[in-house]
Structure 1
């Protein structure tokens, strides 16, 4: 099962319209899962009051937050 289909039941916060992980620990756990699926490093970054996942896919820097209990790429 892809990590993008797995439900995210961790606590979240909304900052500037983006749903983010509330805690660094939960974000780090999801970063490890995402890195394993993508085959490239994924880190966590503090954005306002929450945490986002950050990585690089096909030469493009990407950030992921949460939407509807699923990981979602942030624009």
Structure 2
């Protein structure tokens, strides 16, 4: 499930089959946008060589990365 239809266009890295933000700063900017849109706390987490967004939606822990230049939930 994608969150925004706007392209991310930030530098990304592939780690363990997931496309993640390359920098913490870019991930943090998107975390703020997602937090505002979903009205939940969203932070960033270092995963290998990249950064993912993390939050809790409807009682479920979620991680988001970049999927085809869109934000999408990472498979657990």
Structure 1 gap ranges (5+):
none
Match of 1:14 in 2: 14
Report Cα offsets for 1:12-39 as digits up to 9, x if no partner: 0000100000000000000000000010
How many pairs does the alignment contain? 74
User: Runs of 4 or more off by more than 4 Å in structure 1?
Assistant: none
CA RMSD of superposed structures (Å): 1.2
Give 1:34's aligned residue.
34
TM superposition score normalised by structure 2: 0.94
Shift of 1:56: 0.5
Question: How does the TM-score come out when normalised to structure 1?
Answer: 0.95
| Structure 2 segments unaligned to the other structure (5+ residues) | none
Structure with the largest fraction of helix: 1
